Amino acid sequence: MCGRFTQYTPKKQIAEVFNLDPGGLFDLSPRYNIAPTQQVAAVGQTKDGRRKLAMLRWGLIPSWAREMPGGAKTFNARAETLQQRPTFRDALGLRRCLVIADGFYEWGKDKTPVYFYDSMGKPMAFAGLWDSWKSGEGKTINSCAIITTEANGLVKPVHDRMPAVLYPAEYGWWLDRDGTDAGELGKLLRPYQASLMKAHPVSKRVNDVRNDGEVCAAPLNLPLIT
């Protein structure tokens, strides 16, 4: 699963990595302890093929839902069962996004949180799904879920699941609104190459969603995970 992650890359670099128009971006505050039901930055694609940055509620609310469910139930979507879950099936075919992340946290058996991130310090893209829901009062909420897959060799000693991280060459394929079937998309949802990531233990400060700041992702004085 993925229950906490970070977003702190400056918008100029985000524009370069995700091929966005820098003039159309809004400022993003660095965040080091993002939790479900909070707003997250994600990249989607418009009908005319342009990529767009948006803020989405983390915890997908399907458009057909009668009421807003708890985000804890829909913030992750297992890659293996996407087509079996009505909440995620329609979004997989029509509403895919890239959730921007600089790293994510997982907790092992000893309850020590571990921070996983790109070995070169670059932002990553989690495969995501989004939807738009309207309340009875007419309020619109755009929301998303992060797809998870089996853990790679680096993450597995800590947790058996991890976000489905896409490679840059796959961003366009995942965002394409035309001509991509679920079977082909499924090929992208596999464990990310462990050699392209690093990890280190962090303090239990990250356990409390009220805590934020660089200290959340700072390494503890414990043996590093390589």
Q: What is the 3-state secondary structure (H, E, C) of the chain?
A: CCCCEEECCCHHHHHHHHCCCHHHCCCCCCEEEECCCCEEEEEEECCCCCEEEEEEEECCCCCCCCCCCCHHHHCEEEHHHHHHCHHHHHHHHHCEEEEEECEEEEECCCCCEEEEEECCCCCEEEEEEEEEEECCCCCEEEEEEEEEEECCCCCCCCCCEEECEECHHHHHHHHCCCCCCHHHHHCCCCCCCHHHEEEEECCHHHHCCCCCCHHHHCCCCCCCEC
Most confident of the following: 83-87, 176-180, 189-193: 189-193
The percentage of residues in the chain with a pLDDT greater than 90, rounded to a whole number, is 69
pLDDT band at 211 (very low <50, low <70, confident <90, very high): very high
Domain range 5-217, its CATH number among 3.30.470.20, 3.40.50.1820, 3.90.1680.10, 3.40.50.620: 3.90.1680.10
Q: What is the mean pLDDT of the chain?
A: 90
pLDDT for position 71? 46
Q: List the catalytic residues.
A: 2, 106
Q: Tens of pLDDT along 49-95? A: 889 999 999 999 999 888 776 545 789 999 999 988 888 988 898 89
Which is more confidently placed, 147 or 46? 147
